[in-house]
Structures are given as C-alpha cells and as structure tokens.
Amino acid sequence: MHIQSSQFAASSQVLQLFGSNGSGKALSASASYTSQTSGWNHFGPGRAVREALSAIFELVATDGNDAITHVATGNTYSRIDAGDGDDTVSVSVEGSARVSGGDGDDAISLTGARVRASGGSGDDAISVSGYRASASGGSGNDAIAVAGEHIGRVSGGSGDDAIGVAGRRVRSVHGGSGNDVITAAGQIIGRVSGGSGNDTITATGSRIGRVYGGDGDDTITVSGDRIGRISGGTGDDLINIDGDGALVAFRAGDGQDTVSITGRTEFAIFGERWGDDVMTLEDASFTFENGMLTVSFEGRDEKLTILAPGGGDLTLEMTSDRTFVVKPAT
Ligand SMILES: [Ca+2]
Ligand SMILES: [Ca+2]
Ligand SMILES: [Ca+2]
C-alpha cells in the first residue's frame, strides 16, 4: 500500500498525480482488490478495506489559485483538499475520492465509483458523477450537477444555487437558504427541499417521496407514477402535480397556494399546532368556478386554489375533518 502526500504552497501551481503511471505499477499490481468494496462507508474506506486499497492519495494544497488534475486507476482512495483560492480541480478515479474546494470560487469536476465534492464558501461550479455520488455547495451561489446510480445527500447551502441531480436513486436534495433552482430526476427520489427563499423545484421520477418548498414563494413541479407528500411551506406557492397519489399538506400560516392536479390528490389541513381547532374543514368553504376549486377558512387569510386539468371539472370527497380528496371528473 502506498500513501502519497503532497503539499504545495505557491499560487497557480499545477500539480498532476497520475496513478496509472509513475507509481502506477503498484496500482495495477493491486488491481485484484478492486472487487473488495463491501467494507466502504460513505465517506471513506473502513479499516479492513483500507488495508486492501492499492493506494491512498492525499493532496492538501494551501492558499492560492490552484489547478489540480488527479487520475487514479484501481481501488484507490483519494482525498484532495484544494484549500483557499479560486481552484480548478479535475479528479477522475476508479475507486473513491473526496474533493474539497475550500474558500474561493472553485470549479470542481469529479468522477469515480464513490465520490463526494464540497465547494466550501464562494461561488462554486461542481460537477460530480459516480456510482455513489454526493455534493455540497456551501455558502455562495453554486452551480451543482450530480449524476450517478445512487445519489446521496446533495445540498446547495446558503446562496442562490442551481442544482441538477439525475440518478437511479436520489436520497435527498436541499437548496438551503436563498432562491434556488432545483431539478431532480430519478427512478426513486427520497426528499427534495428548497429551504427558505423563492425556490423553483422540479422533481421527476417513478416514485417521489417528499417535496418541501419551505419559506418563500416557491414554484414546485412534481411528476411521477407514485407521488408522496408535498408541502409548499409558508409563502404563496405554485404547485403543479402530474401523477397520482400525492398528499398536499397545507398548514395555518402557509399563505395562498395554487395547486394544479392531473390525478387523485389528497389534501391535509393542519392548524398552528397539534390538536388545536384552527383551520379545520368545519370552518372551510369550498367554491368551484371555471375549473378552479377555492378553499378558504373563516376568519383567516390562508387560501387554497385547486385547478383541474384543462379547466375541466373536479370531484371532491371529504375524508375527515382535516382531509379531502380531489380528482379530475371522468
Ligand atoms: Ca469554494
Ligand atoms: Ca432556498
Ligand atoms: Ca413556500
């Protein structure tokens, strides 16, 4: 096992680590360890696998605007810390890698089997792809693209972030504070949340678990075969649902939301706290006009407007004193 560590201090240096040549003889000699991946945890090798690794690369750069290119073949673990400054980091590995941009406006490109990138503060551009992949933007206005089979946690942090995630399974995407644009696509999407700010969220998949707008006026578009729980949060939200089975949660203080539906959609109305009698459906009035079902509550400003597809008719079924089901009339 090789442990290679490099440090460089001056700004604008270019450092290249090539695991496939130079020290690469050791790497290819250890290539039979590639299949021993069961002991990995999310962020690094467990001890047993660490001993089976063909190499561990650790590169810690200090301040300055660094350009770092790192390529490693075989079952390697690479940790690249670009340090402060506006860094350009390109990492391509067959094993695992973790890249940190640190302060400054960084451009990070990362591919590998198990990869995670952190932009740190500054306006970072992060592109990650891998079998298991995750990313965090940190503070600043970040552009984040993540692709992979299993996408873990992707977070924009504070700032106005543009986040695009595409994978078979997507665990969670968080916009954080700021006005974020989030696009998530996958067969199974666990959770997408915009955080505070006026967020635009688009989630497309076969199964979509939870989508939360958070504070602010959000535009949420969800399409899927099986859709779980959607909540716009506070602010006047626009929610477009294309698919069956969604549960839209609407709470006291949530403002004036407009929800357009194409299939069976359940609405659950919550008061200010558990068990109170604020905003029950006994205080609600339902009016239907021009394909718009309006639900308002006596003595309160909150209002729900539910739109039928193409301005058509809707059917309404009360299912409890806090829930009702709406679907397009057939
Ligand atoms: Ca940064
Ligand atoms: Ca946000
Ligand atoms: Ca909201």
How confident is the model over 285-323, as pLDDT tens digits? 999 998 899 999 999 999 999 998 888 999 999 999 999
**Separation of 157 CA from ligand 2 center, angstroms?**
9
118-160 residue pLDDT tens: 999 999 999 999 999 999 999 999 999 999 999 999 999 999 9
Number of Cα atoms under 13 Å in the Cβ half of residue 180: 37
- Alpha-carbon distance 177 to 161, whole Å? 9
**pLDDT recorded at residue 53:** 67
- Distance, C-alpha 158 to centroid of its chain: 14
Note the pLDDT of residue 74: 86
- CB-based contacts of 289, cutoff 8 Å, min separation 6: none
CA of 38 to the centre of ligand 3 (A): 41
Q: What is the DSSP letter of 40?
A: B
Distance between alpha carbon 188 and the CA centroid of its chain, in Å?
Answer: 13
Mean pLDDT of the region 208-226: 97
Instruction: Kindly give the distance from the C-alpha atom of residue 103 to the centroid of ligand 1, in angstroms, as a whole number.
Output: 4
Residues 238/220, Cβ–Cβ less than 8 Å: yes
pLDDT band per the 50, 70, 90 thresholds, residue 7: very low
State how far the Cα of 3 lies from the Cα of 42, in Å rounded to an integer.
Answer: 21
Mean local confidence (pLDDT), 3-11: 35
Residue-wise pLDDT for 22-79, tens only, equals 332 222 222 222 222 233 333 444 555 555 666 788 888 877 888 888 888 888 899 9
- Residue 323 identity: T
Instruction: Compute the distance from residue 214 Cα to the ligand 3 centre, in Å.
Output: 5
CA dihedral of 250, 287, 308, 310, whole degrees rounded to 10: -140
For residue 58, the model assigns a pLDDT of 83
For ligand 2, the distance from its centroid to the CA atom of residue 238, given in whole angstroms, is 15
Residue environment code for 264-290, b if the CB has 16+ CB neighbours within 10 A, otherwise e: ebbbbbbeeeeeeebbebeebeeeeee
- The predicted pLDDT at position 75 comes to 86
The per-residue pLDDT for 1 is: 26
Determine if the pTM surpasses 0.75. yes
The dihedral region occupied by 168, where left means phi > 0, alpha psi between -120 and 50, and beta the remainder, is alpha
Predicted confidence at residue 6, as pLDDT, reads: 40
- Residues surrounding ion ligand 1 at CB below 5 Å: 101, 106, 119-120, 122, 124
pLDDT of residue 249: 97
The yes-or-no verdict on residue 260 having pLDDT over 70 is yes
Q: Hunting for tokens 């299993």 — which residue is that?
A: 150
Question: Which ligand is in closest contact with the Cα of 66?
Answer: 1
The per-residue pLDDT for range 173-210, each reduced to its tens digit, is 999 999 999 999 999 999 999 999 999 999 999 999 99
Quote the pLDDT of residue 290: 86
**Which ligand places an atom closest to the C-alpha of 108?**
1
Q: If you measure from the C-alpha of residue 179 to the centroid of ligand 2, how many angstroms do you get, rounded to a whole number?
A: 5
The runs of H, that is alpha helices, within 31-142 are 47-52
Q: What is the mean pLDDT of the chain?
A: 85
Distance from residue 166's CA to the centre of ligand 2 (Å): 19
| Ligand showing the shortest atom-to-Cα distance for residue 253 | 3
Give the pLDDT mean for 218-229: 97
Res 21 pLDDT > 70:
no
CA of 61 to the centre of ligand 1 (A): 13
